[in-house]
Chain A
Amino acid sequence: MQVAIASGKGGVGKSSVAASLIYLLKDEYSLIAVDADADAPNLDLLFGVESWEEEKELIGAKVAKINTGTCVRCGICAERCPYDCIKIVDGNYVVNELTCEGCGVCRLVCPVEGVITLEEVRSGIIRKTTTKYGFPLISAQLDVGRPNSGKLVTEEKEWAKKIMKEENLEHMIIDSAAGIGCQVIASLGGADVAILVAEPTPASLSDVKRVYKVVQHFREPAYLIINKADLNPGFKGLYEFAEAENIPIIGEIPYDKAIPKSMVMLKPVVETFPDSKASIALKEIAEVIKGEILR
């Protein structure tokens, strides 16, 4: 089974919750963890990963380059770039490599053959390791300033599927990126279940509603976990949303300083502070997941 954990908003505790749930499920099920937040991969830090067994570079992103020696400085490329990536620097037309989408329009409209080329660059890296807890982890890291692409996540999931087949693993747990764009779509696409994490604030509510619309595109069953549940007593928005959309709330985790403390110790909170308020709530959630989702 493929379970994707998403939140829309960043920093609501998606990765912390994911790490703890994976820790609580690892003994009863055979599973693989996928960190699909290639912009800011953090799951390896939460499992104290120190080294990687295997790495694959992902080449394939393209960026345009202008040969200033032969450029006639007509400015057509800058005018036609759909994303305003070409600027004049010291009298020369220059492509900003860090914003270029690699579409190649500049090369097509340039009146002089060979002035503009599209060059392949590395877009990032995908890595695999076996955690000290025994289950494999796949993680990706997008290089800074590269086009954010679902391709990295799709590659990660392909690799994870291969390992699942080879090692006969039952479940893939995916910690997706913040937002609702390509990486999140690649994480949710093909998943059997989406677990949404939100905190009781208007901003988180707004963002979880947005990511839920993406979940609906894929017609996946969704469950909701409320993190930092006691942060904002009197805020009913998440309950109203869950009821209106018929999304089961499978747990509420209170705000607990044990979570940031465990983060600094590079371990899931359920391992470092098993009796903390947060850990008790997480264990109850893991039981619901065992009984209702991973049956």
Chain B
Amino acid sequence: MSETTAIPDIQVRADERKAPRGKTFAEHPLVQLTIVRFLETLREPEALFWIFAFPILLAGGLGIAFRNRPAEVLKIATVTPQLTQSLQHEKLLAVQQLDANAAEEALRTGKIALLAEPGANGTIVYRYDDTNPEGRTARMLADRAVQQAAGRADPVGSSDVLMREPGSRYIDFLIPGLLGMNLMGSAIWGMGFTVVDMRRKKLLKRLIATPMPKQYFLLSYVLSRILMLVAEVGIVLGFGAWIFHVPVRGSLLSLAVVCLLGSLTFSAMGLLLASRARTIEAASGLMNAVMLPMWIASGVFFSAQRFPDVVQPFIKALPLTAAIDALRANMLQGANLVQLAPQIGVLSAWLIFCFILALKLFRWR
């Protein structure tokens, strides 16, 4: 109807319709979606804290608290000058002489690990808490000092060689654990929260009202996750290596493969957890319910071997256990990908299961 009035324009538009101008790299929907994902994460100060600062603070704090110290000097007390004198020769004990009441009080309140008193017929009575390792150590040291002061000679001579090597300390155990925990947390929170938030704000619905290819939406999450992953892993490992000299004995390539697989697996779990939830509260309840057992059972802070044998198969089947075991084996024992096959198998199984289920359940609105 407006053909006569708008011929030049129609001509131009018809040409455009036939051959839309090719898009530059930056104009590609996948690139745009990834940029936007990445920007949104960077502009979320709280998220950045949890992803970057928190693991470092935790590693720093625990590394200092559980650092390997020179053997500690134990505080003990006596009530007679003779005992004090004979115990003073032991360098690992700090002896105080107190009156009976004060000594009693000091022992009860844990200010001293052991109280040595004269017993009947020239014997000595050691009073200590046998459930406290310090008490038991003090007992052995004190008794040895008293016996040697009284003239006992050791029948076999001995000497000590001390080992404090990186790779066998608590911090070496802890850093891979924190790395695994961080991979899980950032992937599940990052995926779960943003998807649920977008659903709640009807932004998911708005996006599928455009011609956006749906797989690009998902793929953009994966790509921005990988970008973040480089920074996340780099910061934790760099911090561990720089401050605590935590080693990475395996190949960096296998470490990268483990981190990537772990992050994808946890992202798939996040997607699954977020596939239906309409409120942040519902989603965060679900996410905590899934993550909390793994924080406890999967050996982040202490070895998962401490749990009874009956539950070991279940613990081994958890994705976080697999991720942390693989990270520790790579970093501390230098294991290669073939040796990590069981853990990689567990992670892959979770990845496939969660991803397929998430795609089935996912709601855009």
On whether the two chains bind one another, the answer is no
